């Protein structure tokens, strides 16, 4: 595990992921800007979920409760204990920005994900081979529910018989069909979403998934038998309670649930920008095929990075204290 | 995953074929260009064409069901519309070509090099107009500025230099027009292109040597359909509009039109799909698009591209789209394209056309790996110098379309 982590690394991709993960919601005001259009509380009699939303939690790191970690990838330090590991090469140069924030988790009930014994081994392996396996690092489509709580905003456009959800990450989207629409003939990364209003709650049934997307960076996964029931309930004009019941008889022994608030991005100038990451990951995925490589050391498809970080005069930590 | 990619391509092709089959009955003209009697028959204030909250209703899946060349062939001069007889004749001619691969010089490497043959292409009925361009009145892209001509010439020279030692130039293929054959590979093969590359070139030293579509980085706007056609799904909410585009090769993308009257993004923020800000003018949605990335390219125009789009619902099943295209560094005057979209069946288009291009992109790394292997073989004295083979020229699609 250590060797694999040491030898498979792309600082830029990891840095981007880590930086985005710790991005916090900041409120900025732009003077001289037109006021936002009035958003009615209801659309055709239903609660209006339209707007730009974002989870503000650590679920994309790991759905389950976890303590903070020194790095998104770690290696044994001087002690043999798991709790005394140190950051590994892929994130070492990033210092605390390469670490993983802790979380109380979003899995409801006992906090456990009820894997079958066989599936649990795959999850463990996934976690150990995170850099090689997580579709997020390759900028693949995130799937549902992961797209809902990645550290990027998404936009809901609520019509009367369609609700469109556009995600900043990877420029993807899904249409929730409120009218009768038969399922697609093929599976999909983002699944097939059919919704209905259960009182003031939007309930969405999602099926027709492929088996490629993950739930988080901890290697939690599913098969093509995944079936989700999502529930969106406005708790206040700017907070949605988002709950998902997750069912997949090929991977889990019983249905389980996650829940979290989604917060409105209330900045008056908020809009979705692009995060067209397939360009960003070209070096990560194909850099070894360049005629003249930018990263000097590839072993087959595995990139080996020597981290050289020369600290310029004036930036050494003790310079800040007037030391020599 | 390669299978999925192919399957989705085929789905697009089949959908397009189905669309063209349905089309045989008639082609409705948009109100703006139709005779007055037809215009009167298409009231724009019909209740069904408004959302429940009173905004014009543009929702649905829309596509251009006919083929119209971007630029007008000089043979139609100032004729804006085909006559019915001309259209019937063109449809007859084009139907005979449908499904036949485009061929070039027989017996050459190029003749079999097409990545996409006629199987992938959609040939639709001939449209009402002789060109998508409605302004200038000659239906042609306006002349380039001297600066743009210089850039275009530099791009062309560079690409021809990379082809000079290949069979393509030796056989005087049209792909080598303006260049000449020289058996010695050009030293320019080691140079960077004159500016950030967006188009195919005969070299694959880096991912950036690929054309944008090869890298799953197809530029977004303006989007007129191309060889595989394109669909746009529009969903509206009070004060908000989302559009999802589905284009060839699963390179779809989304637009979330900012409708709050605020100014464009700061000039330092550049995007592949620009920055779309809309407002209503009567029943027309007007969208101003700027802030394009210097890595995008539409007909040579990059970060200075400025679009003004006008979307108007003209009938239960029709939507008129007009876009004025402007870049003073590129063209000597703005120009305008008009298209008519037809509403598509929700049921038959229920598949979410995922933009899953990169997930199945074996071509981009494959081309690089192929080049590295050919170089290694050549270094061992096995096989030809890869610098004399042409891996860039690709005559795609059906045989020469008399419409184009």
Measured CA to CA, the distance from residue B246 to residue B230 in angstroms comes to 6
Mean pLDDT of A36-40: 71
Q: Rounded CA gap, B252 and B352, in Å?
A: 10
Contact A141 B355 (CB under 8 A): yes
Mean pLDDT of B204-222: 91
**Does the distance separating the beta carbons of A290 and B205 come in below 8 Å?**
yes
Complete DSSP assignment for A51-106 = EEEEE-SSTTT-SS-B--BS-SSEE--SSS-GGG-EE-HHHHTTGGGGSB--B--S
Residue B308: which of B290, B324, B327 has the closest Cα? B324
Does B10 reach chain A within 8 Å, measured CB to CB?
no
The Cα A195–Cα A178 span in angstroms is 5
Q: How confident is the model at residue A323 (pLDDT cuts 50, 70, 90)?
A: low
Count of domains for chain B: 1
Q: Which residues, other chains included, contact B192 with Cβ-Cβ below 8 Å and sequence gap of 6+?
A: none
Cβ-based contacts of A36 with chain B (< 8 Å): 260
Q: Which of B3, B197, B238, B250 would best serve as a mutation to test chain A binding (most A beta carbons within 10 A)?
A: B238
Residues in chain A with CB shorter than 8 Å from the CB of B239 are 37-39
Q: Does B261 touch chain A (CB under 8 A)?
A: yes
**What is the full DSSP assignment across B153-216?**
HHHHHHHHHHHTTSHHHHTT-GGGTT----SSPPGGGGSPPSS---S--S--SSGGGS-GGGGT
Residues of A within 8 A of B7 (CB-CB) are 186
Of B254, B261, B375, the CB nearest to A166: B254
The enclosing H or E element of B126 equals strand B125-126
Q: Is A133 part of any domain?
A: yes
State the pLDDT at residue A299.
86
| Option in B269, B355, B365 nearest A172 (CB) | B355
Residue A196, domain extent: 37-72+102-280
Q: Is the peptide bond before A157 cis (omega within 30 degrees of 0)?
A: no
What is the rounded average pLDDT of the residues A266-280? 95
Q: Is A17 within the bounds of a domain?
A: no
Q: Are A174 and A191 in contact (CB under 8 A)?
A: yes
Residue B165 lies in a domain: no
Of chain A, the percentage scoring pLDDT greater than 90 comes to 74
Is A177 in Cβ contact with B350 (below 8 Å)? yes
Q: What is the pLDDT of residue B108?
A: 75
Question: What is the pLDDT at residue B111?
Answer: 78
Quote the number of domains for chain A: 1
- Name the nearest CA neighbour of A138 among A288, A14, A298, A22: A14
The answer on pLDDT for A34 being more than 80 is no
Q: Residue B359 falls within a domain, yes or no?
A: no
pLDDT in tens, B153-180: 999 999 999 999 999 999 888 889 999 9
pLDDT score for B21: 31
ipTM: 0.85
Phi, psi (deg, nearest 5) at residue B313: -75, 120
Element (H, E) at A7: helix A2-7
Q: Is the pLDDT of residue B373 over 70?
A: yes
Q: Residue B28 falls within a domain, yes or no?
A: yes
What CATH code is carried by the domain that includes residue A231? Answer: 2.40.128.20
Rg (chain B; Cα; Å): 22
Q: How many CB pairs under 8 A join A and B?
A: 156
Q: Do A172 and B365 touch (CB under 8 A)?
A: no
Model pTM score? 0.86
* Structure confidence at residue B25 (pLDDT): 27
Inter-chain residue contact A278 with B244, CB threshold 8 Å: no
Q: Which two tokens stand for residue A2?
A: 């250590």
B293 belongs to a structural domain: yes
Q: Is residue A245 part of a domain?
A: yes
A190-221 pLDDT, tens digit each: 999 999 999 999 999 999 999 999 999 999 99
- Strongest mean pLDDT among A295-309, B4-18, B240-254: B240-254
Taking CA–CA distances from B253, the nearest residue in chain A reads A171
- Cβ of A34 within 8 Å of Cβ of B273? The answer is no
Q: Tell me what the mean pLDDT of segment A57-66 comes to.
A: 98
Residues 160-189 of A with CB under 8 A from B: 160, 162-164, 166, 170-175, 177, 179, 181-186, 188-189
Supply φ then ψ for residue B175, to 5 degrees: -65, -15
What gap in Å lies between CA B140 and CA B138, rounded to an integer? 6
CB-facing half-sphere around the CA of A10: CA atoms within 13 A: 22
Distance CA A10, CA A7 (A): 10
Distance from CA of B219 to the nearest CA of A (A): 12
CA A45 to chain centre: 33
Q: Tell whether A274 lies on the interface with B, counting CB pairs under 8 A.
A: yes
Condensed to tens digits (0 to 9), the pLDDT of residues A64-98 reads 999 999 999 999 999 999 999 999 998 999 999 99
Residue A83 lies inside a defined structural domain of this protein = no
Of A13-22, B16-25, B30-39, the poorest mean pLDDT is in B16-25
Interchain CB distance below 8 Å, A159 and B235: yes
Q: Indicate the residue of B217, B236, B237 with minimum beta-carbon distance to A278.
A: B217
Q: Is residue A116 part of a domain?
A: yes
Q: Which contiguous run of DSSP H or E holds residue B373?
A: helix B363-379
CB contact under 8 A, B347 and A37: no
The rounded distance, in Å, linking the Cα atoms of A255 and A266 is 34
- pLDDT tens-digit series, residues A149-179: 999 999 999 999 999 999 999 989 999 999 9
Distance from C-alpha of A218 to C-alpha of A134, rounded to nearest angstrom:
9
The H or E element containing residue B8 is helix B2-22
- Distance between CA B216 and CA A74 in Å, rounded? 33
**Residue B51: domain span:** 2-142+217-344
What value does the mean pLDDT of chain B take? 85
Residue A6 domain-assigned (yes or no): no
Q: Could you tell me which residues come within 8 angstroms of residue B295 by beta carbon, excluding any fewer than 6 positions away? A: B196, B198, B212, B217, B272, B302
pLDDT of residue A78: 97
Give me the pLDDT at residue B310, please: 98
């Amino acid at each position: 595990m250590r060797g694999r982590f040491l030898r498979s690394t792309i600082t830029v991709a990891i840095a981007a992921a880590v930086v985005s993960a710790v991005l916090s919601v900041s409120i900025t005001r732009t003077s001289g800007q037109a006021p936002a259009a009035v958003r009615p509380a209801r659309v055709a009699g239903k609660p209006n979920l339209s707007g730009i939303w974002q989870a503000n939690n650590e679920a994309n790191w790991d759905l389950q409760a976890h303590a903070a970690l020194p790095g998104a990838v770690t290696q044994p330090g001087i002690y043999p204990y798991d709790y005394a590991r140190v950051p590994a090469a892929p994130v070492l140069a990033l210092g605390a920005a390469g670490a993983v924030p802790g979380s109380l988790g979003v899995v409801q009930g006992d906090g456990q994900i009820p894997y079958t014994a066989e599936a649990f081994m795959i999850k463990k392996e996934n976690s150990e081979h995170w850099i090689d396996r997580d579709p997020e690092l390759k900028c693949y489509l995130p799937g549902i529910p992961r797209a809902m709580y990645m550290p990027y905003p998404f936009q809901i456009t609520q019509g009367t018989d369609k609700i469109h959800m556009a995600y900043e990450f990877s420029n993807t989207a899904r249409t929730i069909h409120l009218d009768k629409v038969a399922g697609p003939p093929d599976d999909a990364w983002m699944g097939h979403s059919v919704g209905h209003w259960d009182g003031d709650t939007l309930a969405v049934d999602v099926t027709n998934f492929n088996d490629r997307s993950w739930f988080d960076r901890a290697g939690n996964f599913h098969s093509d038998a995944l079936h989700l029931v999502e529930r969106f309930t406005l708790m206040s004009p700017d907070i949605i309670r988002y709950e998902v019941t997750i069912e997949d008889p090929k991977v889990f022994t019983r249905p389980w649930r996650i829940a979290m608030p989604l917060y409105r991005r209330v900045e008056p100038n908020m809009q979705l920008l692009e995060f067209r990451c397939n360009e960003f990951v070209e070096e990560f995925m194909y850099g070894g095929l360049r005629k003249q490589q930018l990263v000097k050391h590839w072993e087959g498809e595995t990139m080996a990075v020597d981290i050289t970080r020369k600290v310029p005069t004036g930036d050494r930590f003790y310079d800040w204290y007037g030391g020599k | 995953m390669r299978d999925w990619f192919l399957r989705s391509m085929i789905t697009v092709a089949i959908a397009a074929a189905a669309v063209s089959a349905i089309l045989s009955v008639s082609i409705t003209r948009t109100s703006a260009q139709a005779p007055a009697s037809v215009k009167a028959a298409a009231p724009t204030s019909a209740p069904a064409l408004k959302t429940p909250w009173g905004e014009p209703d543009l929702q649905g899946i829309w596509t251009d069901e006919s083929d119209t060349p971007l630029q007008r062939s000089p043979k139609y001069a100032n004729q804006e519309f085909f006559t019915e007889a001309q259209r019937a004749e063109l449809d007859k001619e084009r139907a005979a070509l449908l499904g036949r691969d485009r061929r070039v010089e027989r017996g050459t490497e190029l003749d079999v090099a097409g990545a996409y043959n006629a199987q992938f292409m959609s040939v639709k009925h001939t449209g009402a107009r002789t060109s998508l361009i409605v302004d200038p009145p000659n239906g042609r892209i306006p002349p380039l500025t001297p600066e743009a001509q210089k850039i275009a010439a530099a791009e062309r020279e560079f690409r021809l230099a990379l082809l000079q030692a290949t069979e393509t130039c030796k056989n005087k293929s049209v792909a080598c027009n303006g260049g000449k054959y020289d058996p010695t590979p050009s030293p320019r093969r080691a140079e960077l292109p004159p500016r950030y590359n967006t188009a195919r070139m005969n070299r694959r030293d880096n991912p950036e040597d690929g054309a944008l579509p090869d890298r799953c980085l197809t530029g977004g706007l303006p989007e007129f359909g191309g060889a595989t056609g394109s669909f746009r799904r529009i969903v509206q909410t009070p004060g908000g509009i989302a559009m999802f585009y589905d284009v060839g090769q699963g390179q779809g993308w989304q637009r979330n039109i900012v409708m709050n009257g605020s100014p464009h993004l700061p000039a330092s923020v550049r995007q592949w799909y620009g920055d779309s800000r809309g407002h209503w003018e009567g029943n027309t949605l007007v969208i101003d698009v700027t802030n394009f990335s210097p890595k995008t390219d539409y007909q040579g125009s990059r970060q200075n591209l400025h679009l003004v789009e006008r979307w108007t619902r003209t009938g239960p099943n029709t939507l008129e789209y007009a876009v004025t295209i402007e870049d003073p560094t590129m063209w000597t005057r703005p120009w305008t394209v008009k298209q008519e979209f037809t509403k598509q069946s929700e049921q038959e288009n229920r598949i979410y056309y995922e933009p899953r291009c990169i997930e199945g992109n074996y071509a981009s790394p494959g081309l690089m790996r192929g080049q590295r292997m050919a170089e290694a073989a050549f270094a061992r004295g096995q096989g030809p110098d890869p610098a004399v083979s042409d891996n860039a020229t690709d005559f795609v699609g059906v045989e020469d379309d008399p419409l184009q």
